[in-house]
Amino acid sequence: MTALRMLLRDWRGGELGVLLAALVVAVAIVSGITAFTTRLQSSLEQESHRFLAADRVVMGSREQPPEWLAEAERLQLRTGRVLTFPSMVYAGDEDMVLASIKAASSEYPLRGELTMSVDAFGTPELRTQGPPPGQVWLDSRMFALLNVNVGDDIYVGDAALQVAAALRNEPDRATGFLGYGPRVLMHIDDIPATNVVQPGSRVRYRILLAGEEAVLEDYVQWLEPQLPAGQEIIDVGRNQRGVGGALERAESFLLLAGSLGVVLAGVAIALAARRFSERHYDYVAIMKSLGTVSGKINRMYGLSLLLLGAVATLIGAALGWGLQALFFTLFAEALPVQPGPAGMRPYIVGGATAVVCLLAFAWPPLSRLGGASPLKVLRRDLPNAVSRSAIDNGLGLGAVLLLMLWYSGDWALTLAVLAGLAASASLAASVAFLLLRGGRLAGMRAGSIWRLALASLQRNGSANTLQVVIFSLAIMLLLILVLVRTSLLEEWQMQLPEGTPNHFLLNIAPDEVNAVRDTLSQTADLAEPLYPMIRGRIVEVNGEALGRSDDEEVGRRERETNLTWARDIPTDNEIIAGEWWDPNTEAALVSVEEGMAESLELEVGDKVRYMIGSQPLDVTVGSIRRLDWESMRPNFFMIFPPAVLRGYPATFMTSFHLDKTEKQFLNQFIRQYPTVTVIEMDVVIEQVRGIINQVSAAIELVLVVILSAGALVLIAGVQSTVDTRLYEGAILRALGARRGLILGGVVIEFAALGFFAGLLATVAAEIAVYVLQTFALDMSYSPHPEIWLLGPVMAVLMIGALGVWNCRRVVSSPPLLVLREL
Amino acid sequence: MIRTENLRKRVPLAEGELEILKGIDIEIKAQESVAIIGASGSGKSTLLGLLAGLDVASEGDVWIDGASLAALDEDQRALLRAEKIGFVFQSFQLLPSLTALENVMLPLELHGVTNAKTAAGNFLERVGLAERTDHYPNQLSGGEQQRVAIARAFAAEPAILFADEPTGNLDTATGAHVIDLLFEINREQGTTLVLVTHEQRLADRCDRRLRLHGGALVGEESGHVARDGHSGTPHLRGV
C-alpha cells in the first residue's frame, strides 16, 4: 500500500511522466510491431497458399498411390487432385492448338479463386470451382486460335467437351513463361474418355491438401520418409510474384525500427529513472532519518516500479493493439486476404520488454537509493551516489542486446546496430568534449550572453558531453530510420512506376516483328524493344561436360533456356565483371546473369559450349550482369552479340503497358496474330502495388511511433540537467540579470548542444545507413546531402525549443520560488 | 538517555586528516533539554549527526538508552531512530511532492500506525495549521513549513528530539513563535530535546548549554535564562 501511495504521490508531483511514457512507448512499439508483422506474415502466408491453390501440394510425374489420399482424408485434411499435361486441342477439322491442359477435381482450388469471364476478355468474375464434367474453360486467346465461341465443342483426345467460359486466371498459374501454353481447364472425371493420358505421357500429378497447420505437418512427417524419387512435397515460401524482396526488406525495416525504438525507449527510461532517483535522494534521506531501513526502501521502490511496469504494460499493450488495429482497419481493402489473428504473443513480448527495461534501465539507479546516507538531512551538499556505474552500463547493454535479439531473431542486424551504437557513442563522446572546449574558446571573444552560455556548457563538461552523446544517438537513430524508409519507398516506387509493362508477348515470328510493333504502338505503351528468343542449353564449361542433376538450380541450366542477342546492354542491367561489347562486334561472346554465373561457377574468359537444336555454339564469357528480376521487364540469363546468334531460328518477345480501359484491344490483337502468346500480368501488378502501398503505410505509421520514442529521449535528456540550469538561472536573476540574458543563455546553451549533437548524428547516420543498406538490407546506397543541413538545423530547433520550454520557469517565476523548489 | 565517551570524528582531506570532533564526553538525562552552541565550523552539526545515529564516529561511542550505536549497523540504527528519535531541521526537509498532512503522516505510515491520517491531522491542528493540511510545502511560508516539520517530528512521539538550527531560516518573530511551539509540545510529551543553534535566545530556554569550539567541548552552562531575566540563574563552569 505504501508503494502504491508513494507512486500516486510521485505521479501527482510530475516525477513519473517521462518514465511512464517511455515504458508505455517501449511496450506499444514492441507489441504493436510484433502484432503487426505477425498478422502481416499470416496474411502473406495465406496469400502465398493461394498461389498453390492449397496449403501443401504433393507433386510427381507418376500418379500417387491411393493410400496417400486415404491417409490425408483420415486426418480430415481437405484434398483435391489435379493433372497437367500438354496436348493438342481440336475444333472442327482444321483448327488445332498445342495447349496446356489442367484437369481438376471438383474441390479445386482449395485456396484462392478461379477468375473466369463469360466470353473471351470479358468482365472477370470469381469462382470457387472449375467447370463440371463435360465442360471446359479456355484461355481467352484460344477462342480466336480455335475459332470457337461459348457453347461450341472442342476435342481433347477422344473426348468432346463443351466450351462454357473463358478462363482468365488460376491461383496456381506458374509465373515462369515456360509454363504458359494457352490453358484449357477441364474436369478430372473426363480424363479417361480422352485416352490421352498413357504411361509415358508428360503428365504432372498433384494432390492438393489444405487444413490446420499442425495436421498438415503430421501428414508431411508421415509421407516424407516414404516419398520416392520423382515425387515432392511443395510448401510455398513467400518469395512469389516479385514482392518477395520488397517484403523481406520491409520486414527487416520494421524489425530494425522496432529494435531502435526499444533502444531509444530504454535510453529514455534510464535517463528518467536516474533523474527520478536523484530527486528522490533527499526523500530517502528523510525517510531514513525517520527510521526506515534500507530493505524497506528497496522494497517500496521495487514495488513502485512493478506497479509502474504493470500500468505501462496495460496502456502500452492497448496502444500497440490500437495501432495495428487502426492500420488493418484503414488498409483492409488493400489487403489481398483478411489478416489472421496475432494471438497473445505480441502482448507477452511487450510485457516482458517492460520488465527487462525496468530491471536493466530503471532499477540500477533506484536500487542505490536504499544506500542513501541519512546524514544528507543535515548536510545537503553530500554527493548523490546515483551516477551510472560500469555494471549498470553493462547491464543496459546486455538488456539491449537481449531485447533486440529476442525481438528481431537476427544476430547480424543486432550486432550491426550495437556496433554502430557503440562506435558512434564513443566517437560522439570524444568529439563532443573537444567541440565544447572549442566553443568555450570562441565564446571568450563573444558578447556576454555567449560567454555565459558557453562557460556554463564547459563547466558542466561531463554532463554536457553525456547529453550530446544521448542527443546525437537519438537523432542518429531517427535519421537512419527516415533515410532507410525514404530509400525503401523510392526503390519500390521505381520498381513498379506508373506505366510498368503489364503484358508480355511471346512467340512473335520474325516476319511479324514490324507489324506487331506498329499495332502495339497505336494503343499500348511499348517501352521495350522486341527481343529475339532462341532456345539453347549449356552442355560444356571449359571443355568439361555438365552432368545431370536433381538439383533444381542445376536443372535449370540443363534445361533449355532462352538466349537472346542485343547490341546494347538492356535497361537496368549492370555489368559487374568484364565489359559490354562493341555494338558491331563479330566476336563469339556471351554475357551471363550474375546468379547463373555463380551456379555454373563461370568467370569472365571461361569457354562455354551451347547446343542450339543439334548445333554446337562455342563462346567466351565476355561479361557478367546484375539485373532486377522483379522489374517486370523481359530479362535474360544469356545475352549474345547479334552476329553470333543471327543465323539461328528465333522468335521474338516483348512487354508493354496496356491501360485497364483498353483490354478489348487484346481480342482484336489475338485475332490478328493468332500464334502470338499474350501473358496478362496486370492483375498481378495491381496486387503487388496494393501490397507495397500497404506496407509503405505501415512503415510510415511505425516511423511516427519511433519518432515519439526519440522525442522522449530528447525530453528526458533535456530534463536531466534542467535542475542545475534552473538553479543557476535563478541565482543570476537574483543578482539582477535581465530575463533576456538568462533566456538567451539558455537558448544558446541548448542550441549549441543541439548543433553539436545534430552534426555528430548526421555523420554517424550517413555512415550507418551506408553499412545497413549495403550489408544488411541489400539495397544500393547514395549519399544524402540534404540531411547535412537538415540534421543540425532540426537538432538546434528541437533541442533549443525543448530546453527553453523546460527552463521557462526560471524567467516566468520569481527567482526565490524557483530556488525554494529546488 | 544519551551518553558519549571520547567521541571523535575525522574526515580525510587531500592534505591529510581533519579532526572535526576531538573527544567529546557528555551525558544527557531523560526529559532534559540541551543546546549545543558554538561558532560556524565548531562541529555542532557533526556532533548532532553522531548523537542521532545519522553518522558513524571515527572513535569513541554513543549510547542511547544504554544501546551502543557503534555496535549497530545502518539498518539497526534506522530502527532505533524510528523507535526513539525525531528531527527538526534548519531547512525543514519537507517532501515537496507531499501535502502538509502527508508529510506529517509519513513517519506514522512508516511505523505502520493505523489511524495515521487522524493523528497527523491532530498534530497539524496542534501547531495551528488545521486550515493548511492540503497545501504543498512551496505554498507555505517558512514558519508554516517549520511548524509542519515540528508536527511531523512529534507525531511519532519520539523519546528524543534533535533539532538542527530550527530557527536558522526564519525571521525573529516567526522564529520565536516556532520556538514557543517546540518547547510547549516538548513539555507536553516529556521529550528529551537536543538542539544545535547559534541563537543565544533559543539556547537560553534549554536546561543546559554545551559550548563547542574547534571540535572540543569548551564550556557548559546550566539553568534557564528567562527572556525577562528573572527565572533561574545561569551557572557557568569550565570543563
Which of A63-67, A460-464, A623-627, B135-139 shows the lowest per-residue confidence on average (mean pLDDT)?
A: A460-464
Quote the pLDDT of residue A39.
Answer: 80
What is residue A243's DSSP assignment? T
B87, A377: Cβ pair inside 8 Å?
Answer: yes
Q: How confident is the model at residue B239 (pLDDT cuts 50, 70, 90)?
A: very low
Please give the average per-residue pLDDT across A794-810, as a whole number: 84
Nearest CA to CA, how far is B138 from chain A (Å)? 7
Name, in order, each residue with C-beta under 8 angstroms of A552's C-beta and a sequence gap of 6 or more. Answer: none
Of residues A206 and A267, more confidence is placed in A206
| β-bridge pairing B16-24 and A677-680 | unpaired
Distance from CA of B70 to the nearest CA of A (A): 16
Tens digit of each residue's pLDDT (9 = 90 or more) over A119-142: 887 888 889 899 999 999 998 878
Q: Which residue has the cell 546531402?
A: A785
Residue in A292, A294, A820 closest to B82 by CB: A292
Segment A541-557 shows an average pLDDT of: 61
Any B CB within 8 A of A295 CB: yes
Query: Is the per-residue pLDDT at A161 higher than 60?
Result: yes
Please answer whether residues B206 and B218 qualify as being in contact, where contact means their C-beta atoms are separated by less than 8 angstroms: no
Mean pLDDT of A385-403: 75
Q: What's the pLDDT score for residue A176? A: 40
CB A382 within 8 A of CB A373: yes
Question: What is the average pLDDT across A413-437?
Answer: 75
Task: Please write down the HEC assignment for all residues of A434-501.
Answer: HHHHHHHHHHHCCCHHHHHHHHHHHHCHHHHHHHHHHHHHHHHHHHHHHHHHHHHHHHHHHHCCCCCC
**Residue A230: predicted pLDDT:** 74
Helix, strand or coil for residue A285? helix
Residue pLDDT, tens place only, A78-122: 999 999 888 889 888 777 888 889 999 999 998 888 889 998 878
User: Which letter does DSSP use for residue A89 in this model?
Assistant: E
Q: Which CATH superfamily is domain B29-53+74-233 in?
A: P-loop containing nucleotide triphosphate hydrolases (3.40.50.300)
Residues of A in contact with B78 (CB under 8 A): 288, 291-294, 374
Q: Which H/E stretch holds residue A323? A: helix A294-331
Check if A816 contacts B (Cβ < 8 Å): no
Min Cα distance B104 → chain A (Å) is 11
Amino acid at A198: Q
User: Distance (Å, rounded) from C-alpha A264 to C-alpha A353?
Assistant: 13
Mean pLDDT value across residues A734-756? 80
Tell me whether residues B55 and A375 touch, CB distance under 8 A: yes
Q: Supply the DSSP symbol for A18.
A: H
pLDDT at B230: 45
Average of per-residue pLDDT values in chain B: 85
Residue of A nearest to B85 (CA): A290
For residue A2, pLDDT over 90 is answered with no
pLDDT at res. A333: 64
Is pLDDT above 60 for A243?
Answer: no
Query: Average pLDDT, whole number, for chain A?
Result: 80
pLDDT of residue A600: 80
Minimal Cβ distance to B138: which of A293, A294, A821: A821
d(CA A649, CA B55): 102
| Stretch among A10-19, A593-602, A657-666, B77-86 having the lowest mean pLDDT | A10-19
Chain B CA closest to residue A820 = B138
- Chain A contacts of B111, Cβ < 8 Å? 291
Amino acid code (one letter) for A433: F
User: Which residue of B36, B56, B79, B98 is the best one to mutate when testing the A interface, meaning the one whose CB has the most A CBs within 10 A?
Assistant: B98
B146-166: pLDDT as tens digits: 889 999 988 888 899 999 888
Between CA A53 and CA A62, with CA A59 as vertex, the angle to 5 degrees is 140
Residue A689: phi and psi, rounded to 5, are -60, -45
Q: What are phi and psi of A208, to 5 degrees?
A: -95, 140
What pLDDT does B80 receive? 87
pTM of this prediction exceeds 0.80: no
Radius of gyration of chain B (CA): 18
Task: Using CB atoms, pick whichever of A13, A289, A379 lies closest to residue B81.
Answer: A289
- Band of pLDDT at residue B231, cut at 50, 70 and 90: very low
* CA angle at A305 for the pair A302 and A309, rounded to the nearest 5°: 140
Contact A817 B74 (CB under 8 A): no
- Asked if residue A350 lies in contact with residue A31, where contact means CB atoms within 8 angstroms, the answer is yes
Chain B closest-CA separation from residue A741 CA (Å): 27
Q: Cα B74 to the chain's mean position, in Å?
A: 19
For every residue of B33-97, DSSP letters joined together read: EEEEEE-TTSSHHHHHHHHTTSS--SEEEEEETTEEGGGS-HHHHHHHHHHHEEEE-TT----TT
Rounded Cα–Cα distance for residues A186 and A82 (Å):
10
How far apart, in whole angstroms, are the C-alpha atoms of residue A130 and residue A113? 9
Q: What is the pLDDT of residue A153?
A: 92
Check A378 against B138: CB less than 8 A apart. no
CA distances, A667 to each of A139, A505, A571, A662, A663 (Å): 12, 14, 30, 10, 8
User: Cβ separation of B97 and A377 shorter than 8 Å?
Assistant: no
C-beta separation of A142 from A186 below 8 A: no
CB contact under 8 A, B52 and A289: yes
Please, where are the H alpha helices in A720-814?
722-734, 739-771, 785-807, 809-812
- What residues have CB less than 8 Å from A434, skipping those under 6 apart? none
A794 or A13, which is more confident? A794
- Cβ distance B156 to A290 less than 8 Å, yes or no, reads yes
Q: What is the per-residue pLDDT for B229?
A: 43
Q: Which residue from A13, A291, A378 is facing B48, i.e. has the nearest CB?
A: A378
Quickly state the pLDDT bin for A244 (edges 50, 70, 90). low
- Residue pairs between chains A and B whose CB atoms are closer than 8 Å: 81
**B-chain residues within 8 Å CB-CB of A5?**
109
The answer to whether residue B168 neighbours chain A at the CB level (below 8 Å) is: no
Residues in B touching A377 (Cβ below 8 Å) = 54, 87, 89, 93
User: Which chain B residue has the Cα nearest residue A16?
Assistant: B97
Residues in B 1-40 with any Cβ partner in A closer than 8 A: none
Q: What does the pLDDT read at residue A444?
A: 52
Q: Inform me whether the C-beta atom of residue B114 falls under 8 Å from chain A C-beta atoms.
A: no
Across the range A672-685, mean pLDDT stands at 75
Residue A732 has pLDDT above 80, yes or no: no
Contact assignment for A817 to B138 by CB distance below 8 Å:
yes
Q: Using one digit for the tens of pLDDT, what is the confidence trace for A764-786?
A: 888 878 877 777 666 777 788 88
In whole angstroms, what is the distance from residue B239 CA to residue A528 CA? 112
Lowest mean pLDDT across A344-358, A370-384, A463-477, B11-25: A370-384
pLDDT value at position A146? Answer: 86
Q: How far apart are CA A184 and CA A86, in angstroms?
A: 10
| Closest to B55 in 3D by CA, of A385, A374, A379 | A374
Contact (Cβ atoms closer than 8 angstroms) between residue A467 and residue A703 = no
Catalogue the E-assigned strands of A557-614.
561-565, 574-578, 589-593, 607-612
- Percent of chain A residues topping a pLDDT of 70: 84
Residue linked to cell 501511495: A5
Considering only residues 268 to 287 of chain A, which have any Cβ-Cβ distance to chain B shorter than 8 Å? 282-283, 286-287
Among the ranges given (A50-54, A297-301, B7-11, B53-57), the one the predictor scored with the smallest mean pLDDT: A50-54
Confidence of residue A336 (pLDDT cuts 50, 70, 90): low
SS3 A804: helix
Contact in structure between A89 and A97 (CB atoms under 8 Å) = yes
Q: Flag if B106 and A287 touch (Cβ within 8 Å).
A: yes
Question: The C-alpha cell of A179 is what?
Answer: 509454363
B56 contact partners, CB below 8 Å, separation of at least 6: B50, B69, B70
CA A634 to chain centre: 25
Q: Give the residue, A665 or A173, on which the prediction is more confident.
A: A665
Domains of chain B, residue spans = 29-53+74-233
Interface test with B, best of A12, A275, A287, A289 (most B CBs within 10 A): A289
Beta partners for A545?
A: A540
B49 contacts in A (CB within 8 Å)? 375, 378-379
Q: Decide if A3 touches B, using CB distance below 8 A.
A: no
Q: Which of A13, A290, A377 has the CB atom closest to B97's CB atom?
A: A13
Q: Is residue B157 less than 8 Å (CB to CB) from chain A?
A: no
Q: For residue A817, what pLDDT is reported?
A: 66
Q: How do strand A183-187 and strand A135-139 relate by DSSP bridges?
A: antiparallel
Residue ranges of B 49-88 with Cβ closer than 8 A to chain A: 49, 52, 54-55, 74-75, 78-83, 85, 87
Determine the residue type at A697: A
Whether A73 contacts chain B with CB within 8 A: no
What ipTM was predicted for this assembly? 0.81
If you search the block for the grid coordinates 479445386, which residue do you land on?
Answer: A108
Buried b vs exposed e over B102-138: b needs ≥16 C-beta within 10 Å?
bbbbbbbbbbebeebbebbbebbebbebeebbebbbe
State the pLDDT confidence band at A553, using cuts at 50, 70 and 90.
very low
At A759, the amino acid letter reads L
Q: What is the pLDDT of residue A78?
A: 93
pLDDT in tens, A694-728: 777 777 777 777 777 788 788 887 777 777 777 77
Q: Does B97 touch chain A (CB under 8 A)?
A: yes
Q: Could you read off the pLDDT of B44-68 as tens digits, one per residue?
A: 888 988 998 888 889 999 999 888 9
Task: Tell me the average pLDDT across A519-532.
Answer: 79
Question: Edge-to-edge, what's the strand order for the sheet holding B216-222?
Answer: B85-88, B160-164, B192-196, B33-38, B208-213, B216-222, B235-237
Point out the residue among B45, B85, B95 whose CB comes nearest to the CB of A378: B45
Q: How far is CA A454 from CA A468, A521, A732, in A?
A: 14, 69, 15
Chain B touched by A9 (CB under 8 Å): yes
C-alpha cell of residue B161 = 528530539
Confidence of residue A456 (pLDDT cuts 50, 70, 90): low
Segment B190-209 shows an average pLDDT of 89
Q: With pLDDT > 90 as the criterion, what percentage of chain A qualifies?
A: 11
Q: When comparing pLDDT for A336 and A736, which is higher?
A: A736
Distance CA B49, CA B65 (A): 17
**CA A259, chain centre distance (Å):** 14
Please calculate the CA angle B116-B117-B119 and round it to the nearest 5 degrees: 65
Asked if residue B228 has pLDDT above 50, the reply is no
Cα–Cα distance between A508 and A527 in angstroms, integer? 17
